[in-house]
Structure 1
Amino acid sequence: SATKIGADRLAESFYRSFDLPVSIVRPFNTYGPRQSGRAIIPTIITQLLAGQQEIKQGSLTPTRDFNYVKDTAHGFMAIADCDAAIGQEINIATGVEHSIGDLANELIAQINPSARIVCEAERLRPEKSEVNRLLGDSTKLRNLTGWAPQYTFEQGLAATIEFLRGNLDQYKVGQYIL
């Protein structure tokens, strides 16, 4: 997170000093097809698609503002087409938070309702490194461009499941990847 903040300030300095047309864009928790197997959503989906009945997770209480990748891409395009966005810091977010437990339960419901979640100590992040709540406000993006997410949480997850179903061989199912 420190490098993101540093990059934001560097971009801002070039805008302020040299009139470089820059917008600082902050997408919140993008997910979807081709996402790294290290991320939470592919980790859960691949375990379920492989037929595992016990879905191994860390903490279930942190919340995230999940954006389906096509909505994130449309947000970037809307910002790129908006002159009023130049020099602005803009979030791409749904404004809705889901806990990791809620996420796991939704994926279980869509793939294998008989599966259950098992918390593993090795998957728990150190207390000082865990972010317990990430929730974005996209009011500025909506006001500047009219952008709004087109995919519900459930629709985005269903599309991600279908991609992973056809590409499961490209993922290391059940391995905890640091």
Structure 2
Amino acid sequence: MNILITGIAGFIGSHLGEELLAQSDVNVIGIDQGVANEPHKFRNIENLLQHKRFQFYDLDLLSDDFLPLLNDIQVIYHLAGIPGVRSSWGDEFETYLLHNGLVTQKLLEACRRLPIDKFIYISTSSVYGEKTGKVSEDMMPIPLSPYGITKLTGEQLCRVYHHYFDVPVVVLRYFTVYGPRQRPDMAFHRFIKQLLLDEPLIVYGDGKQTRDFTYVKDCVKATASVATADHVIGETINIGGKERASVLDVITLLEQLLHKKAKITFVEKAKGEPVQTWANISKAEKLLNYEPTVSLKEGLKHEIEDLEKQYKREEGNS
């Protein structure tokens, strides 16, 4: 099976590439941009670059010609995009709209003329907005942020291309993925780094907001399974984690794991972020045989170990 992954050098994309290449009958083409200028992106894919069934292309999906790479591809995973709620306001919205909306449309337009088996679009729980209790896929999405709006735009583009041109789309909505290689701007990465450096932890709001935290290895196992799953075309599927916790709960776990006491600085609640997220994953359980297995404490331990290695490596290169 020939699989193409956009956003391969990202946090989740790099893990997904490794998960898929663990299958002996899979070849992966990865697309990302600016890898040579972003050390953390290169670090994410340096193992992939050594794999004989992996090919990498540094391309801008907005402006470069990617069509030749789609020949003989059976499955496309579209992870490329601009992430993050807090930075999606103001002048940055245009960048979000271009990369999360227009790029998705360009890929779908190409796929309507190709005999692909599946186009798997990676979306986010941010499309739901503020909801109470477990969130199922049939609930009306009401995003609270420009970021959520652009990701929902991508979902709607998938739906119309599926409806009118039979593009075989599947939409996955991720709930707060964490683990090794997490982006530097993401909360767990920031907290771990601040604790290691004995700096105050910056917490937006009161820290009592809860999230359905999904360990990256659980997430990519579910995602990889979509390639061969039956009865998923046209479906939207939540990918959530093993347990929920508040931000303050997470900090307590980090204090235990690092044997340090956190100094916390509370700042104004970020605009566009819900008080809670909680995934109903019954559809993923049924269609993908999905069962998250990694506890929050275990997952945080793995992320701490990865970041300690990264910082030691950076110190050695300085």
Fold match by TM threshold 0.5: yes
C-alpha displacement of 1:144: 0.9
What SS does the aligned partner of 1:84 have?
coil
Question: What is the aligned partner in structure 1 of residue 183 from structure 2?
Answer: 36
Q: Are positions 1:125 and 2:282 aligned together?
A: no
The code of the aligned residue for 1:106 comes to L
Contact 1:54 1:117 in 2 (8 A): yes
The code of the aligned residue for 2:152 comes to I
* Partners of 1:56 and 1:145 in 2: CA distance: 37
Question: What is the aligned partner in structure 2 of residue 174 from structure 1?
Answer: none
* Partners of 1:143 and 1:38 in 2: CA distance: 34
Deviations 1:135-167 (A, max 9, x none): 111110101121111211111111100000111
* Partners of 1:105 and 1:139 in 2: CA distance: 30
Equivalent pairs, count = 166
* Partners of 1:5 and 1:169 in 2: CA distance: 39
Q: Are positions 1:146 and 2:289 aligned together?
A: yes
**What runs of 5+ residues in structure 1 fail to find an aligned partner?**
172-178
Contact 1:97 1:135 in 2 (8 A): yes
The code of the aligned residue for 2:279 comes to G
Deviations 1:53-81 (A, max 9, x none): 64332321111111111111111111222
* Partners of 1:130 and 1:117 in 2: CA distance: 23
Contact 2:210 2:277 in 1 (8 A): yes
* Distance of aligned partners of 1:169 and 1:120 in 2 relative to their CA distance in 1, 3 Å threshold: farther
**What runs of 5+ residues in structure 2 fail to find an aligned partner?**
1-147
Which has the greater radius of gyration? 2
Mean Cα deviation higher: 80-89 or 91-100: 91-100
> Aligned-pair RMSD on alpha carbons?
1.9
Contact 1:94 1:137 in 2 (8 A): no
* Partners of 2:169 and 2:224 in 1: CA distance: 14
Q: Are positions 1:57 and 2:200 aligned together?
A: no
Deviations 1:69-100 (A, max 9, x none): 11111111112221211110001002632111
Larger RCO, structure (CA 8 Å, separation 6 or more): 1
* Partners of 1:89 and 1:160 in 2: CA distance: 29
* Distance of aligned partners of 1:19 and 1:170 in 2 relative to their CA distance in 1, 3 Å threshold: farther
Deviations 1:18-66 (A, max 9, x none): 111110101111111111111000011111222x164332321111111
Over the matched positions of the two proteins, sequence identity in percent amounts to 28
Q: Which runs of 4+ in 1 moved over 2 A?
A: 53-59, 168-171
Question: What is the aligned partner in structure 2 of residue 89 from structure 1?
Answer: 236
